[in-house]
Amino acid sequence: MYAIIHASGKQYRVEEGQVLYTEKQPFEKDERIVFDRVLMVKDEGVTIGKPYIEGAKVIGTVQEHVREPKVLIIRFKGRKQYRRTRGHKQWKTAILIDKIERA
């Protein structure tokens, strides 16, 4: 059984027991989070929402807040002796999907 949810402006395919990495969420560790914007659920059959399925929800638990590997940003202008290097590490929230409930 899996579901497609809408979270943080993106769509994610989730299954029970999966760890989902989303944009950083304003929740503490071990706090429960409920995604009620469920676009699709598939088990024996397929249920598709218009745009969301009423009454369906995905329940998860926040595991931790982590940072992605560093992305390097390099600016370079040839023949001018100009080089700049910067880095960026994006915050992510790891969420363990506990349960998928259908309407």
For the chain, how big is the Rg over CA atoms in Å? 19
Q: What is the pLDDT of residue 5?
A: 98
Identify the domain containing residue 57 by its residue range: 2-101
pLDDT band (50, 70, 90) for residue 49 = very high
Q: What is the pLDDT of residue 103?
A: 76
Round to whole Å and give the CA distance between 80 and 71. 25
Round to whole Å and give the CA distance between 6 and 75. 35
User: Could you read off the pLDDT of 77-92 as tens digits, one per residue?
Assistant: 999 999 999 999 999 9
Total-model pTM: 0.86
Number of structural domains (the chain) is 1
Mean pLDDT of the chain: 96
